[in-house]
Amino acid sequence: MATSGIPAEAKAIKSQRKTRTALLYRDSRGMAHTCSEGSLFGVGNPLLDIAVNTDSEYLKKYELEANNAILAEKKHEPMYKEMADMEGVEYLAGGATQNSMRVAQWILRKKHCATFMGSVGKDDFSKTLEQKAEEAGVKVKYQKQDDHPTGTCAVVITKNGACRSLVANLAAANHFSKSHLDVPENKALMEKAKFYYISGFFLTVSPETIQTIGKHACEHNKVFSMNLSAPFLCEFYKEPMMAAFPYIDILFSNETEAAKFSEVQGFGLTDIREIALKAASLPKENKKRSRIVVFTQGADNIILAKDGKVKEFPVVRLPEEKLIDTNGAGDAFVGGFLSQLVQGRDVADCIKCGIWAATEIIQRSGCTFPPDLHYKN
């Protein structure tokens, strides 16, 4: 009978709808966008942040600078115990790339769109990190070390949250090896992704891993993005940074890092717009994609360079009393940007969401966010 095929057809249609529902979500306007599981892949240094609000005298004590990031030296070792005993100390899931993955997931809402890998110890700190990541919806695949504790980062907050100084003790994070990507399950997760993000801090750990991911992205015309992350990386890790540079499709940086990059590379440029254009024009392996350079400048305009042109985007200026903690603002911007990128949005929409995410997060302590707050594009 003609009707005998109807149940099978209805079943097929139902199956197709189920599949589409799994891959799509609707934004505030009811418009559907793709958000596939595992589409975003990040590798970096998972760290547990130890954050305190203090004064400039504490910075002087340990020869630190406001709004800077360094690796811990011998003289900084007492800080961690000292800060842990301070009144109001907070422990937060940290590490630049992991922060960006958490923020992207917060905005995307669909669980496990983002995958993160990094190295931790077999201790309570790593359990806390994994719990925080999973709560945010990030799929974590840590490489666990027997002989090294989970890394920590001292976050010294001054000027009522307007300035922060980061001192990272990488510990286990410093021992990530490319072999972790060779595990079949992990390799499958890496190859499944379409978008990759690695903070510049990972240059100190495993340039080989960066090269592997960058080459994979290039060969398969996927999007590979990195961040300059800190001035000292531009200067002291110039060789691995420039080895990775030809694979970079999207480069993030703030104005201080961009200035140091220009100096170290011998550009002879001080204008942030010109530096962005020069960085965008550096040699690139994947000729199918133009390099995009995005420079943030705190409360000043965001600079976008692409195809020999520069655009500026104003940020939201908050009154000083609303600034709680600028730690994580850059990570939040990247997370917001990536959350739109994986949905196929244009760069202007990506920057808009990045600004929104950073603005929300600097009104809270650490790289944290209100779970019930939704991004409205």
Enzyme catalytic residues: 331
Here the tokens at position 57 are: 């005298």
Label residue 63 exposed, middle or buried (CB < 10 Å: 0-12, 13-18, 19+): exposed
* Nearest-angstrom CA–CA distance, 223 and 214: 9
Are 129 and 48 a contacting pair, CB within 8 Å? yes
Transcribe 97-163 into DSSP letters: HHHHHHHHHHHH-STTSEEEE-EEESSHHHHHHHHHHHHHT-EE-PEEESSSPPEEEEEEEEGGGTE
Instruction: Say what angle helices 96-108 and 347-361 make with each other, to 10 degrees.
Output: 110
Pick from 130, 132, 157, 109: which is nearest to 372 by CA? 109
End-to-end CA distance of the chain: 50
Here the tokens at position 350 are: 């990506």
Here the tokens at position 183 are: 């595990």
* Nearest-angstrom CA–CA distance, 243 and 211: 8
Here the tokens at position 48 are: 């547990």
Structure-token match 């090294």, residue found: 148
374 CA to centre of own chain: 19
